[in-house]
C-alpha cells in the first residue's frame, strides 16, 4: 500500500512502532529473565520497558525537531546498550567492543537533548 502521507506522519508512526516493539521485547525479555535467568536480560528488559512510553508519546503527540532528535538518539542508545547486554547472555560475547558504554552515553545524551527541547520554542 503506497501512501502519500507527509514525512512527519511517517516518523510519528515509526516512533509508535519503536515504542510498541520496545514494550513487547521488554515484556518477553522479562519473562525470559524470570524463567531462564541471566542478569543482563533483566536489565535489558527494564531499559526497554522504561523507554517504550517515550517513543509512543513522541509518536502520538509529536514535538519539536529537537525532541524528535533526542528521541532518535535515545533509540540508538537503547539498541546498542540493550543489544550488547543481550548478546552477552545469549551469545556469550559482546555486540562489539564498547557498545554498552557507547549506548549508555547515547541514552544520557538523548535524555539531555529531550530536556533541552523544553528550552526551544516550537515554530508554528
Domain residues for the domain of 46 are 8-117
Nearest Cα neighbor of 30 from 21, 14, 41 is 41
3 found inside a domain: no
- The pLDDT value recorded for residue 10 is 76
- The pLDDT value recorded for residue 36 is 87
Q: Are 106 and 73 in contact (CB under 8 A)?
A: yes
Q: How many domains does one find in the chain?
A: 1
For range 105-116, the mean pLDDT: 97
| Mean pLDDT, the chain, integer | 91
SS3 at position 1: coil
pLDDT class of 123 with cuts at 50, 70, 90: low
Nearest Cα neighbor of 84 from 40, 32, 23 is 40
15 found inside a domain: yes
Question: pTM to 2 decimals?
Answer: 0.86
37 found inside a domain: yes
For range 76-80, the mean pLDDT: 98
Amino acid at each position: 500500500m503506497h501512501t502519500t502521507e507527509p514525512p512527519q506522519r511517517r516518523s510519528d508512526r515509526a516512533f509508535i512502532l519503536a515504542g510498541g516493539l520496545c514494550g513487547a521485547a521488554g515484556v518477553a525479555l522479562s519473562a525470559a529473565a524470570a524463567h531462564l535467568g541471566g542478569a543482563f536480560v533483566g536489565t535489558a528488559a527494564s531499559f526497554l520497558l522504561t523507554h517504550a512510553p517515550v517513543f509512543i508519546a513522541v509518536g502520538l503527540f509529536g514535538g519539536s525537531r529537537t525532541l524528535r532528535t533526542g528521541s532518535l538518539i535515545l533509540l540508538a542508545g537503547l539498541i546498542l546498550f540493550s543489544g550488547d547486554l543481550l548478546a552477552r547472555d545469549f551469545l556469550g560475547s559482546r555486540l562489539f567492543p564498547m557498545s554498552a558504554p557507547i549506548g549508555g552515553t547515547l541514552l544520557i545524551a538523548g535524555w539531555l537533548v529531550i530536556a533541552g527541547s523544553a528550552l526551544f520554542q516550537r515554530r508554528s
